[in-house]
Amino acid sequence: MEEAFDLAVVVDDDPDIALAARLALRHLFKEIATLPSPQLLADFVRTQSPDAILLDLNFERAATDGSEGLDYLGKIMTADPEAAVVIITAHGAVSVAVEAIKRGASDFVAKPWSNERLAATVRSAASLRRTKLEARLERGRTSELAHNGETRLLGDSEAMERVRTLIDRAAPTDANVLILGENGTGKEIVAREIHRKSRRGDQPIISIDLGATAESLFESELFGHVKGAFTGASSDRIGRLKAADHSTLFLDEIGSLPLHLQPKLLTALEQRQVVPVGSNRSLPIDVRVVAATNLPAERLADEGRFRQDLLFRLNTIEIHLPPLRARRDDIPPLLDHYLKLYERKYDRPERLVPQEVMDALVRHDWPGNVRALRHAAERAVIMADGAAYRLDDFPLPARPEGAAMFLASGNLNLDQLERQMIERALRMHHFNISLAASDLGLSRGALYRRMEKHGL
């Protein structure tokens, strides 16, 4: 079934043009309004929030320069910065349409148009608007988390000060950034901080977790697709690269990108354009890429796993996030922060952390890094019942001795060992996927795939 949007509005003083547009788009929208003049369009946009707007550029008799339409386009974009405006223009006014795109229009169609071309253009514009609105909601969620102190880059160690210095130097530029670090070290937080401090920070950051994306969907997620490109492609879809136009694209777990798709990503970044799956039409993009991976640098340097020309394109600036065991001085302030955060969240009293408990937590290697420490603090706040926290209140992550225990049994079958380790981590954390994944050094998506593999 074809994707249906709620509302489109056609603004044209020629009733025949307006009718033709309505007929061409009636299968895409539940309702199509028409306005003979753009004078009330700004108010219409504010009150109705249409999914797409078709706007003619000339309304005065004999007018051809498009100045009137460009003026109203500015008012529309002020009323709704995410508005999807498709310009209607004559063949000889393409230069004016290009100027309209520079001022915020999504695309243009020339009269007389092909109905298929008009529908595809408007569908793409409406889809892009929907993606941007979803990204805006995500940005609001991130801002709320930041207000609660859960997305701050915490720690005052020398190692973290170096990371902050790199962020401050890289953020104002448009250079691509590669963030390296183990799971749970805060790579996404760094990516969002880079975006927030960049000149693109007023736009929503677009992100995709390649480690949690099915391989069959990688290409469509990144580059988009057109209707009929493959089984199940019932409508056009905007890819993340196009959705991040004029903003930042965060590619989490970039090491999971299949080798055969890496050349296509490299081409898109070099040529600054994407070609959706099933299409032969390229779409321009202006995107800054921040990528992250938990793969060590030496594995990224393996040409059989990752194209080095793509790696060079991604790591103009490289930021290494240290594991928590390499900055143990940060553990006390981190623990204090998260204990206070969850004491407020769950309305629990403040409790002391005895020195012997703190010493034990500082000595611990924290395989899941800051994420594991945060979960341990949350669990301690919920479980503690005395005047002070006890070591038993903190679920310390699984230690490496677990693997030695399995090896001591004489079982050297890798698949069986992997299954046993996954089962042990899941039971230890009462099947909390996030905690189990942190202890195993995996992303949530990678753990889900292994659970599926072993039938867990």
What's the burial of 187, exposed, middle or buried (CB within 10 Å: 0-12/13-18/19+)? buried
Do 289 and 365 sit in the same domain of this protein?
A: no
How, if at all, do strands 283-284 and 273-274 pair?
A: antiparallel
Residue 176 lies inside a defined structural domain of this protein: yes
Last residue within a domain, chosen from 358, 376, 393: 393
pTM of the model: 0.61
Element (H, E) at 121: helix 115-147
Over range 21-27, report the average pLDDT. 90
Is the CB of residue 223 less than 8 Å from the CB of residue 241?
yes
Do 296 and 438 sit in the same domain of this protein?
A: no
**For residue 419, what pLDDT is reported?**
81
Last residue within a domain, chosen from 393, 410, 430: 393
**How sure is the predictor about 232, in pLDDT bands with cuts at 50, 70 and 90?**
low
Lowest mean pLDDT among 255-264, 284-293, 391-400: 391-400
* Stronger pLDDT, 397 or 241, i.e. the higher one: 241
Over range 278-303, report the average pLDDT. 89
Do 287 and 176 sit in the same domain of this protein?
A: yes
Question: pLDDT, tens digit, for every residue of 53-65?
Answer: 999 887 766 556 7
Q: Which SS3 state, helix, strand or coil, does residue 156 take? A: coil
Do 380 and 361 sit in the same domain of this protein?
A: yes
Residue 42 lies inside a defined structural domain of this protein: yes
Give me the helix-helix angle, 331-345 and 355-363, nearest 10°. Answer: 110
Region of residue 213 (phi > 0: left; psi between -120 and 50: alpha; otherwise: beta): beta
| Residues forming a β-bridge with 289 | 249
Q: What is the DSSP string of 405-438?
A: HHHHTT---HHHHHHHHHHHHHHHTTT-HHHHHH
Domain CATH for 387: 1.10.8.60
**For residue 2, what pLDDT is reported?**
46
* Stronger pLDDT, 64 or 349, i.e. the higher one: 349
Residue 168 lies inside a defined structural domain of this protein: yes
Domain CATH for 236: 3.40.50.300
- The rounded distance, in Å, linking the Cα atoms of 81 and 79 is 7
Over range 212-219, report the average pLDDT. 79
**How sure is the predictor about 335, in pLDDT bands with cuts at 50, 70 and 90?**
very high
Do 296 and 372 sit in the same domain of this protein?
A: no
**How sure is the predictor about 318, in pLDDT bands with cuts at 50, 70 and 90?**
very high
Domain total of the chain? 4
Question: Is the pLDDT reported for residue 67 higher than 70?
Answer: yes
Residue 139 lies inside a defined structural domain of this protein: no
Domain CATH for 108: 3.40.50.2300
Q: What is the DSSP string of 1-43?
A: ----EEEEEEE-S-HHHHHHHHHHHTTTEEEEEEES-GGGHHH
Over range 225-253, report the average pLDDT. 84
Is the CB of residue 11 less than 8 Å from the CB of residue 53?
yes
Residue 136 lies inside a defined structural domain of this protein: no
Over range 221-237, report the average pLDDT. 79
Token reading at 150: 């859960």
- The rounded distance, in Å, linking the Cα atoms of 238 and 133 is 13
Do 381 and 414 sit in the same domain of this protein?
A: no
How, if at all, do strands 287-293 and 29-35 pair?
A: unpaired
Domain CATH for 427: 1.10.10
Question: Is the pLDDT reported for residue 137 higher than 90?
Answer: no
Question: Is the pLDDT reported for residue 316 higher than 90?
Answer: yes
Do 155 and 279 sit in the same domain of this protein?
A: yes
Question: pLDDT, tens digit, for every residue of 94-121?
Answer: 678 788 888 888 888 888 888 888 988 8
Do 303 and 217 sit in the same domain of this protein?
A: yes
Lowest mean pLDDT among 227-241, 270-284, 377-391: 227-241
Question: pLDDT, tens digit, for every residue of 142-186?
Answer: 554 444 445 568 888 999 999 999 999 999 999 999 999 998 899
Do 316 and 353 sit in the same domain of this protein?
A: no
- The rounded distance, in Å, linking the Cα atoms of 266 and 314 is 9
**How sure is the predictor about 254, in pLDDT bands with cuts at 50, 70 and 90?**
very high
Lowest mean pLDDT among 231-235, 328-332, 421-425: 231-235
Average pLDDT value over all residues in the chain: 84
Boundaries of domain holding 423: 401-453
Q: What Cα–Cα distance (Å) separates residue 96 from each residue in 56, 64, 103, 382?
A: 11, 9, 11, 62
Alpha helices in 214-330 (DSSP H): 218-223, 240-243, 262-271, 297-300, 308-314
Residues 6+ apart with CB under 8 A from 321: 163, 179, 180, 181, 182, 185, 186, 187, 190
Do 300 and 423 sit in the same domain of this protein?
A: no
Residue 222 lies inside a defined structural domain of this protein: yes
Question: Is the pLDDT reported for residue 48 higher than 60?
Answer: yes
| C-alpha 20 chain-centroid distance | 38
Q: Report the b/e string of 5-42 with b at 16+ CB within 10 A.
A: bebbbbbbeeeebbebbbebbeebbeebbbbeebeebb
Token reading at 64: 């051809």
- The rounded distance, in Å, linking the Cα atoms of 300 and 312 is 11
Question: pLDDT, tens digit, for every residue of 28-42?
Answer: 898 999 988 888 787
Q: What Cα–Cα distance (Å) separates residue 456 from each residue in 152, 398, 422, 424?
A: 34, 19, 9, 12
Do 103 and 13 sit in the same domain of this protein?
A: yes
Residue 88 lies inside a defined structural domain of this protein: yes
Question: pLDDT, tens digit, for every residue of 187-205?
Answer: 999 999 999 999 999 888 8
Do 272 and 365 sit in the same domain of this protein?
A: no
Last residue within a domain, chosen from 373, 393, 413: 393
Residue 140 lies inside a defined structural domain of this protein: no
Place of tokens 């749970």: 184
Across 139-143, 206-210, 350-354, which has the greatest mean pLDDT? Answer: 350-354
Lowest mean pLDDT among 115-124, 267-276, 414-423: 414-423
Q: Report the b/e string of 247-267 with b at 16+ CB within 10 A.
A: bbbbbbbbbbbeeebbebbbe
